[in-house]
Amino acid sequence: MKAALDEIVKQRLSAGAAVPGFTCYGADTALAVVETAEHLRVPVILLVAPSTAGADNGPRLIRTLRSIADDAAVPVCVQLDHAKDEDVIRRGIDAGVDAVLADGSHLAPEHNAQFVHHVKEFAAAAGVVVEAELGSVPGAEDRSTDAAIDTSGKTDPDTVGEFLEASGAQLLACGVGNVHGRYRGKPDLDWPRLAAIRAQAGEVPLVLHGASGLPTSDLQVLAAAGVGKVNVNTELRTAMLAAIEHNILACRSAGEDMLSLTDLVAKAATGVTRDVLTTLAGE
């Protein structure tokens, strides 16, 4: 069922859990993610990468995810992720997203706030929730490259209050040693910084991108630290690719040529989704 992103995140935070967003490059992934969330009776977010949304078929995929979300027995949000381009944001909203990450993290904080505020004006008119990112999260969202932990991009807690007031952002993604893609070396989240950001953010829930590769012990305590939304891309994508590769090789060596791609994707996506959902609930 359709849901407001900020509301479901706040509801889950009050229950001591975070809501995961899974990047969907096609309907197969979204179907598996939503079905798993229904089994566990928890809300979930379907993320659309800007490269996907900006492609010719982008609006068509968003409308497909919209239909899957509306049909679900649990609250499901469709969110356009990391959108820097106003045209892509407007196309995403026209196609039916519930939320957008208006990503001005590459800009100076005051210009970032202006960009988010501008997006919020037309997004709010369409009932669309706006997330912002302050500081930067290193690495590439769509590729599993190793990303060094770049401390220079960490969010400065002293800028958070002013940024939220100027931008009107309803959720805040922050950089606290998290990276997109695979972590080079051992992840080392800056918990004191996260606590300082939370103190400045007030009622605005925090978001952590780059959850793939974080140890279970970190994921389990994110909600207690004020992180109500977690983005998962690499873990889901690499699990599906590995399942396809493994099964193709197994089929070839057995001399068979029948392979159900739908089953493979569903099984791999379901396994990762179940693991992430139960871990974020502290289980």
Binding site for Zn ion (CB under 5 A): 209
- Tokens representing 229? 């939304």
Q: Please report how close the Cβ of residue 161 comes to Zn ion at its closest, in angstroms.
A: 23
Structure tokens at 182: 């695979």
d(CA 249, CA 38): 32
For Zn ion, give the closer residue by CB, 178 or 273: 178
Q: In angstroms, rounded to a whole number, what is the distance separating the alpha carbons of residues 136 and 90?
A: 23
- Residue ranges of alpha helices (H) inside the chain are 5-14, 27-40, 50-54, 58-71, 86-95, 109-125, 157-167, 191-201, 216-221, 234-253, 261-280
What does the longest C-alpha to C-alpha distance in the chain come to?
A: 63
Buried b or exposed e, range 169-182, using 16+ CB within 10 angstroms = bbbbbbbbbbbbbb
Shorter beta-carbon distance to Zn ion: residue 47 or 264: 47
Judge whether 21 and 231 are in contact, CB under 8 Å: yes
For the question of residue 156 being annotated catalytic, the response is: no
Minimum Å distance from CB 117 to Zn ion? 21
In the complex, least distance from residue 72 CB atom to Zn ion, rounded to whole angstroms: 23
Least Å distance, CB 172 to Zn ion, is: 13
Q: Could you give the CA distance from residue 233 to residue 187 in angstroms, rounded to a whole number? A: 16
Closer residue to Zn ion, CB minimum distance, 135 or 157: 135
Q: Give the shortest CB-51-to-Zn ion separation in angstroms.
A: 12
CA atoms of 264 and 253, how far apart (whole Å):
17
Considering beta carbons, is residue 91 or 209 the nearer one to Zn ion? 209
**Sequence letter at residue 116:** V
User: Which of 120/209 has CB closer to Zn ion?
Assistant: 209
Catalytic residue among 81, 98, 142, 218: 81
By annotation, the residues acting in catalysis are 81
